Amino acid sequence: MLKNLHTTSLRRRLSNWIALGSITLAALIVTVPLFLILGTVVVRGLGTFNWAFLTQIPKPIGEEGGGMGNAILGSVLLLGFASLIGVPLGIGAGIFLAEYGRNKFGNIVRFTADVLNGVPSVVIGMTAWALVVVPQGHFSLLSGSVALGIMMIPVISRTTEEVLLLVPQSIREAALGLGIPKWRTIISVVLRSASAGIVTSVMLAFARIAGESAPLMFTAFGNEFWSSNPNQPVAALPLQIYKYAIQPYEQAHAQAWTAALVLISMIVLTVVFVRFIVSRGVIRGAD
Amino acid sequence: MPEHGPSRGSELPEEVDMSAPVLGSSETLRIVPKARPVFRENVFADRAFRGVVLLCALAVLAMVGLIFFELVSQSRLSLSKFGFKFLVKQIWDPVAEDFGALPFIYGTVVSSLVGLVIAVPLSVGTALFLIEICPLRIRAILSLLVELLAAIPSVIYGLWGIFVLAPFIRVHVEPFLARYFGWTGLFEGPKYGWGMLAAGMIIAIMILPIIASITREVITAVPRVQREAALALGATKWEMLRIAVLRNARPGIFGAVILGLGRALGETMAVTMVIGNRPEIARSLFAPGYTLASAVANEFTEAVGNLYLSALMEMALVLFVITLIVNALAGLLVWSIARGKPSRALA
C-alpha cells in the first residue's frame, strides 16, 4: 500500500539527486582552498621558523638568519594606536545606534557605517596619506594607525549595536525603575552585561585589520629597523610579506612564508577565540 | 524596539512615572518638579551622554564625507587637466604625463566579473547546504571554516597566488581551457599562469565567504511555512528549495552578490600580486591586466610629479565612487529582505 504512495517520477527524483549532489559538492569545493592555503603556509612557513625570527630584525639578502621582530612589534603598535581611534568612536556609535538610534537618523548612520565598511582599504589609506602624511611631510606610524583606526569604526559599531540589543529589555527597565538615570543605566548595567560581546567586537576588528597591507604602503611605509616612534615609519608584518614575496630570492620567499605563518596564526587564534566566547554566550543573564 | 523610561531626560514627570508607578495619576506628577535638584544633574548628565555618543555616530558620517573630500581635493589637478576624458582614455604614460584610466577600469570590472562567475554558484550552493542539507554537527565546523576563509589576509592570498595557484593554472587550467574553449577567444595567447584569470580565481575565493554568509542569512529569513507548504504539495527537496526558498530569497541573494562585487572591485594586494600589472585591454583572460586598486597600491609610493600623484588619486576617487554606488545598492537590497534587523553579515 505504502509503495503506491510513492509516485514521484524518475525524472523528478533524478533531478533532485543531481541538484542536491551539486549543492553538497559546492560546499566541499569551498573548503578546498582553505586547507590548501593553510597547509601551504604551515609547511613552507615552519621551515625557517625559529626564535630568532620573532626577536631579530631582517638581515640583508644573502646573509643567513634574521627575523621580523620589528615587524611584529610594528603591527602590534599599529593595532594599539588604531584602537585609540577606532574603539571609543566605534563603541560610542554602537551605543548610539542601540540606545538612541531606533529612528530615521539611526538608519542613516547604520547605512553609512555599512558603506564605510565597504570602502576599499587602499582608498582609506590614501585618505590617511592626505590627512597625515602630507601635512607631516613624511610617512609615520601615526598615519598608518589613522588608516586602520578608520577601518575599525564600522566593524566595532555594528557589532556593538548588535550585542547591546541582545541585552534583555527587562534589565534596562529594572535599572531605570530603581531611579538610576539613563546614562548610568547604559554604562553600569547595559555595557557591563554586554562587556564580553564588546570585547568580541573589538577582537573581530583586530582580526580584520591585522592583515591589512594596502593602506599601510603609503602611510606606515615599512622600516628595516626597530622603531616605536609614532612619527617615524614603522614595519608591519603584512607589508613585510608583500615586500619579500615580490623579491626574486628563494631566501626572501622562505621568510615571507614564515611571516605569513605568524600572521595567520595570530588571526586564526583570534577568530577561534571569538567563536569560543560567542558560543558560551556573550550576554550575562540573557538566557 | 521602543524606547523605555526617561529617554529624553528632559521631562521630569517621566522619571517619577518610573520610580513610583503605583501613584501614576497626573496629580502626583505635578508635585515632582519641586522634588529634588538631583534630577537636574541627571538631566544634564543624560543629555551630555547622549551628546557624546551622538558625536561618535556623526563621526561615522564625517569619515565618509572626509574620504570623499580628501580624494577630490587631492585629485583636483588631474580633474581639471583631463576632465571626463580621463575615464575613456587608454594611455598611461607617466613620462609624458598623460593619463587615462580606461584599462584600469576595464581590468577592475573584468577581474571582478570572473570572480563572481566562479564564486556565486559555489557560495549559494554552500549556503543552501549549510541551512537545508547539512547535519547540525557538521554545520558548526563548516561555517567556522568559511569564516576562517574570510579571515585570511589579502597579502597571504597573494603569496599563495604567486607561488601555488599561478603555477597550477599555467600547467593544468590554461592548457585545458585553451584546448576546449579556445574558440571563444577568451582563452588564448601565451600561458603565464598569472593574469586576469588568476586574479579572477583569487577574487572568487576571497568573496566566497561574504556572499555565502549573507545568502545564508537571507535563506534563514524565508518562513518555514513556505517550505512545509511546498513539501506538503509533494515537491521533492530540490523542488522545494527552488520554489519556496530560492524564489523568495532572490532579491536578497542578488544583494549578496552585489555586495560581493563591491568587495571584488576593491581587492588590492592579492590582485596586485597575480594580475601581472600591465595597463592593457586584451580579450583573452590569459593576458595580464591592471586594476584601479592595484595600480594605486603599486605606483603611489613611486609616483613623481604632482600630476602623476593626482591622476592616481583620481583613480582612487573613481574606485571610491563605484564601490559607494555598488555597496549602497547592495545594502538596500539586503535591507529590503531583513528589514529592521541589523545585518551582521557586513562585519
Which residues pair with residue A221 across a beta bridge? A234
- Domain membership of residue B81 (yes or no) is no
Q: Indicate if B143 and B274 belong to the same structural domain.
A: yes
Domain boundary among B34, B59, B74: B74
| N-terminal to C-terminal alpha carbon distance within chain A | 48
Domain boundary among B58, B74, B90: B74
- What the block records as the C-alpha cell of B177 is 581551457
**Domain region containing B24:** 12-74
| pLDDT exceeds 50 at position B119 | yes
Reference A59, options A224, A210, A234, A282; nearest CA is A224
pLDDT of residue A271: 84
Q: Indicate if B165 and B204 belong to the same structural domain.
A: yes
Which residue from B52, B134, B145 is facing A34, i.e. has the nearest CB? B145
| pLDDT exceeds 60 at position B5 | no
Q: Which residue of B has its CA nearest to A157?
A: B57
**Inter-chain touch A165–B162, beta carbons under 8 Å:** no
| Mean pLDDT rounded to a whole number for chain B | 85
Burial of A105 (0-12, 13-18, 19+ CB in 10 A): middle
pLDDT of residue A285: 55
Whole-angstrom distance, CA of residue B184 vs CA of residue B118: 18
User: pTM here?
Assistant: 0.88
Which tens digits make up the pLDDT trace of A22-77? Answer: 999 999 999 999 999 999 999 999 988 888 888 888 888 777 778 899 999 999 99
- Domain membership of residue B86 (yes or no) is no
Whole-angstrom distance, CA of residue B214 vs CA of residue B223: 16
Q: Indicate if B143 and B269 belong to the same structural domain.
A: yes
Reference A87, options A172, A145, A167; nearest CA is A145
Which tens digits make up the pLDDT trace of A152-162? Answer: 999 999 999 99
- What the block records as the C-alpha cell of B191 is 600561458
- Residue of higher predicted confidence among A72 and A272: A72
CATH number at residue B310: 1.10.3720.10
pLDDT of residue A272: 85
User: Does B121 reach chain A within 8 Å, measured CB to CB?
Assistant: yes
C-beta of residue A42 within 8 angstroms of C-beta of residue B259 = no
In this prediction the ipTM stands at 0.91
Q: Which residue of A has its CA nearest to B267?
A: A120
Which residue from B59, B262, B331 is facing A111, i.e. has the nearest CB? B331
Whole-angstrom distance, CA of residue A257 vs CA of residue B165: 15
**Inter-chain touch A182–B63, beta carbons under 8 Å:** no
- Residue of higher predicted confidence among B316 and A4: B316
Q: Region A105-118: what's the mean pLDDT?
A: 93
Q: Indicate if B40 and B141 belong to the same structural domain.
A: no
- What the block records as the C-alpha cell of B305 is 610629479
- 3-state SS, residue B263: helix
**Inter-chain touch B273–A242, beta carbons under 8 Å:** yes
Q: How many domains does chain B have?
A: 2
- Domain membership of residue B88 (yes or no) is no
Reference A283, options A227, A201, A210; nearest CA is A201
